[in-house]
A and B are shown apart, each in its own frame.
Chain A
Amino acid sequence: MRIRRLPRALGRAVRLGAPLVLATTLFGAIRSDAQVRNPHLTWPAPDPELSELDDPAATTACWTGLTEATADLDSMPNAIRFALASGDDRLREFLTARLTELIGDDAEAAKQVLAWARAATSHDEIAIFAEALGASEAAQRADVRERVVAMAEDREDVEHQGAALAILETQRSFDERTLSRVVEAGGSAQSAANQLYAIKTIGTVMERGCESSRDCERYMSGLLEIAARSNEDGSRLAAEMIATSAPAQMTPRVLDRVTEILRESPNRWARDLAALAVAHDAPIGRALRILREAFYAEREFCVRVAIFRDVGAAAGAHGLPLMAEMASAQPELQEAYVLFERTYASGVVAWDRVVDQLFERIFLECSMDDSAEQPGEEGV
């Protein structure tokens, strides 16, 4: 089974280590954009090995009347309810995509669909209206967005708040005011699931919408604010991890917060990713100082390995003296140090090419041995 579409713009965090394990073991869960976009996160995706169960005779249904039933906006709610009752997933997916087409760039149509979502009580119906609306062009219009944000602020209605937070995930960017309202909605959400929707939404819009460090900082701060207010370990971890993946250099304030995570987070994965974020996103001199300090404070061997490697990610050949120092403090790293030294001496530059050269040779077993302990399981 090949993965057809890699999410773009994620190449920046090239590394060995924790994300490798996470990505290899969990990648199947995010196989397509469609699933990432699905506001109600219907993971796990069907396992390819289960395809023998996927007998078309049992899962293909045929219908007449589709042209009329999907001809205009007003005919859709009835068709959608019918599709849900029929249990035909493929029909449901088609109607969702068709509803997006019918909304198009028409703000009035979008508001109508939002009103239907608001009036609906069934989880599945709400999910279809939300997904279709989020994917439409009209969802980007200010007056439509305003209504969705208002729905996201309704803490009492957990189901609709979750849907509204998920709809916002397709926004191209958030202005100050919208962002702070989404952060507030996520931070004060009663349900852990809605906190996660807010976190995922902010992280996705950040990845898509922020260009400069200063602009990204707003999103990172928002995520970290939700993390600080949350009582849920899972939400905190997710918010911290996503905050460290912003697509621009960190501002000093964010760097301070990420350094704090690196120093204090009780979760090894959060520390691991924070170290990577420091390596890629902080000015080199500062990054090396922070990594050095974190290395000596770190008790967990595999996080030490990650920090050691992150020195290379931060500074390339200029990091070799610090790597040598770390290798003498932790003799298991000696062999890896020699490999790095040899690679840089041969004139290889750029972290991607270093990874190409050393892939499979440096402490992969450290990552692999740990694969049994995945961060997700802590929340289960």
Chain B
Amino acid sequence: MRARARRSLVAGALVAAVAILALLSLAGARGVGAHETARDATRGREANLRAGIAASRAGGREGPLERAECSLDHAIAELRAASRSGSAAYRAYALDVMVDLAHRLPLERVLSMFEGERDPLVLEALGRVLCKCYAENGDGAVLDRLLARAQRDPDPARRAAVVRALGATEDPSGAALRAHGGVTYDALVRDPDPSVRDAVVANLGMDIEASAGHEPSTSSEALRVAQAATAPATRAAILERVSLEAASASDVATARAMLDADGASWRVRTAAARALGTVGAGHARETFDALVARYREPQPRSVRIAILAAIVQIRFAAAIPALEALEPIDGSLVPEIEAWIAALRGGAQLYSRLEQEKERYQREQEAADE
């Protein structure tokens, strides 16, 4: 509850206003009537569907579509047709229908189909059904079968399909996988094929977005997986999504280690510096000092730019003396530092507003130079 309330807290005026619009428009003549409840609406949809289907059966009229029996064979044939059509919309639709139908089967049957399936799209659908089953009954053996396939199938397209299935349901998230034990994202993120790694990154990204940086277990998990990743692009892609508002001391230390690591790619270090800018008040001081020290060491330009932004985000106006002290280190970044200082002098209390003010200042400077 707390997490949900906080998530709403970071949403703002437009969200609220749009919601009001929605309510107001409900009161109008259109759409669902104001007094019709959601429950009534759901019942109504079912009734519509039944009536519509009955009519299309009884009338025997010529239509572009014909009602088919909802068998698994039909759903699989549709999935293959969707896959051939090249239409993403068709694929998503056929996948949904397949998941619905397979979900009605006994678990054992789904498991044996899953083991024997070779088409990545069908495999993804069956994987989603298994995730649903796991979410419903907590049967760890089901999850183990999924994870084993994600790790051991010889075909990267099939491994990626299973990882995508893991992300398509609310559970299991990365943290739940870890709690379960056995294969976790740590292992999957080291897959030799980039499409599998990308699927892991996408799943973690969804977890992070859902918690908006305020669930320590989520950022902690993402950091751990980032650390496990061996491909620099993958590690950076995860770090780019991490925020550390509620992170523990050891998580902050992990992020710092990725900034400091010898031989780390510039992209990883840039992403680590950006993530460090989001630390909460409890870790502000030591993180700030560490970032200033890193700036003084030889660094690629993009890392320095990210460090400056992080310094600003941690200390706001109190960062001005430190920023001024850093000006002599790299003459080419003096305009960047001055833009930040100009923005900070405006006194804004939101980082997003500071960024806007900084960009505005830079645009004005560019215009003046021309």
Contacts and interface: CB of A to CB of B under 8 A. Distances in A.
A, B: real partners: yes
Interface of A: 1-7, 10-16, 18-20, 22-24, 26-27, 29-30, 36, 40-47, 50, 53-54, 56-70, 75, 78-79, 82-83, 85-91, 93-94, 97-98, 100-101, 123, 162, 191-193, 196, 199-200, 203, 207, 211-212, 234-235, 237-238, 241-242, 244-245, 247-249, 273, 276-277, 280-281, 283-284, 312-316, 318, 346-353, 355-357, 359-360, 374-377, 379-380
A89 B52 CA distance: 11
Given A234-B24, A318-B347, A15 B89 contact: no
Interface in B279-336: 280-281, 284-285, 313-318
Question: Which of A47, A97, A353 lies at the interface centre, i.e. has the most chain B CB atoms within 10 A of its CB?
Answer: A353
A24 B5 contact: yes
Contact of B349 (A63, A273, A313): A313
B30 A193 contact: yes
B17 interface: yes
A242 B14 contact: yes
Given A22-B20, A69-B64, A193-B25, A43 B349 contact: no
A68 B66 CA distance: 12
Contacts of B32: 42-44
Q: Is chain A's binding surface mostly helix, strand, loop or mixed?
A: helix
A1 B7 CA distance: 13
Interface stretch (B90-98, B147-155, B187-195, B255-263): B90-98
Contact of B12 (A11, A40, A75): A11
By Cβ-Cβ distance, the 10 closest A-B pairs, closest first, are A13-B12, A376-B23, A87-B52, A87-B48, A26-B19, A97-B89, A23-B8, A94-B93, A22-B16, A245-B13
A75 B64 contact: yes
A293 to B, nearest CB: 20
Indicate the member of A23, A50, A314, A377 with the most B CB atoms within 10 Å.
A23
B349 A94 contact: no
Interface string B24-44: 111111111010001101110
Contact of A62 (B70, B88, B206): B70
B245 A356 contact: yes
Contacts, number: 349
Interface stretch (B100-108, B109-117, B177-185): B100-108
19 contacts: A3-B4, A13-B14, A14-B10, A19-B12, A23-B15, A24-B5, A41-B31, A44-B22, A50-B39, A61-B49, A62-B75, A63-B68, A64-B68, A70-B85, A70-B87, A196-B21, A238-B20, A238-B21, A380-B26
B351 A350 contact: yes
A53 B37 CA distance: 14
Contacts of A59: 45-46, 49, 100
Given A23-B15, A86-B65, A245-B14, 11 more contacts: A20-B9, A30-B18, A46-B38, A50-B42, A61-B70, A65-B64, A238-B21, A313-B350, A316-B347, A374-B23, A379-B23
B265 interface: no
A315 B346 CA distance: 10
B349 A351 contact: yes
A67 B9 contact: no
A312 B350 CA distance: 11
A88 B49 contact: yes
A86 B31 contact: no
B119 interface: no
Given A30-B15, A97-B92, A315 B349 contact: yes
A313 B347 CA distance: 11
Given A42-B31, A86-B56, A7 B67 contact: no
A56 B101 contact: yes
B253 interface: no
B65 A44 contact: no
Given A4-B210, A192-B28, A12 B12 contact: yes
Interface stretch (B222-230, B232-240, B266-274, B353-361): B353-361
A3 B16 contact: no
Contact of B81 (A66, A123, A376): A66
